Amino acid sequence: MNNTAQIYNKLFRAEKQRRKGAIPKAYPVHKEIKFRHQSLQDISDWLLAELKIADDAHILDAGCGVGYTLMSLCRQSSRSGTGISLSRREVEYARKVALSAQLNNRCEFREQSFDQPLSKSFDLIIAIESIKHAISYENTLSNLLQHLKPGGQFVIIDDFITDYAPLFIIRPIRKYWSVPGLFNAQEVINCVDKIGSFTYQEVDFSNQIAFRSRKLLLPKMIIAFILTWLFALFQKYNVMGIIYAGLCLEWLYHKEKMEYKAIIFKKSIQ
């Protein structure tokens, strides 16, 4: 099984146990944006307000999680879409929710890598905190953008590195989050520019993320590090490594070595 699939299967199982069967729309290790406008409750609201998505748009959510974002974009319109994830548990759950919400005829969910060929073209492709798991983000972007219609939009929302980071911080993120390498926003923009003709804009959410106090972060990192190795010794099912990697990433934000951005690309009509 792919390491990324294992990570999200673990997160899914842990959240299901912790919440006694209820799955949140986002995992605790993912970012929560505190939008300045009260009308914007989550990233789905922002996407709808920012992108002006057509009512009949066909959407791809690359790294869809449990399908919350895709279903939110499709719910109050005639939009349709496909969500892909490497996690079998996530896909099964998303299908159940879509069926319950009577969206299963417009929202389909597949257990699939976003490096695999797709059978359709899309008006909008979104990738929220997923591209960083790509073995080669260049190959991933090339594959996804082949399936974007002329005039379509491609939105990446992710963590982008801005400065040198020590290896003892980077290594847990690579290992426990299955992140081959961190990249910066300009590298992504340059890569897309080589693929085709696109315009783009950036939106920086870094100062709208709610992080832990700096004073509490280091003790939590130490405790998480100890527990990660302790659980590993006993070979027990756990998510401590994932949590520890998340704290390491948060440390990078406190040191202003990371930024949380949306990059919105629009494909030329010609």
pLDDT recorded at residue 160: 96
28 has a pLDDT exceeding 60:
no
Q: What percentage of the chain carries pLDDT values higher than 70?
A: 91
* pLDDT tier for residue 25 given thresholds of 50, 70 and 90: low
9 against 122, higher pLDDT: 122
How does the average pLDDT of the chain come out, rounded?
A: 88
Q: Which residue has the tokens 């949306």?
A: 262
21 has a pLDDT exceeding 80:
no
In this predicted structure, which of 11-20, 140-149, 161-170, 215-224 has the lowest mean pLDDT? 11-20
pLDDT recorded at residue 151: 95
249 has a pLDDT exceeding 90:
yes
* pLDDT tier for residue 234 given thresholds of 50, 70 and 90: low
User: Is 76 exposed, middle or buried, given 0-12, 13-18 or 19+ CB atoms closer than 10 A?
Assistant: exposed
* pLDDT tier for residue 22 given thresholds of 50, 70 and 90: low
Structural domains of the chain, with CATH: 3-163+178-211+257-267 (3.40.50.150)
d(CA 24, CA 55): 26
- Written as six digits, the tokens of 105 are 């005829």
257 has a pLDDT exceeding 90:
yes
For residue 48, how far is the Cα from the chain centroid?
17
Reduced to 3 states (helix: H, G, I; strand: E, B; else coil), residue 16 is helix
pLDDT recorded at residue 10: 80
pLDDT recorded at residue 119: 85
Reduced to 3 states (helix: H, G, I; strand: E, B; else coil), residue 116 is coil
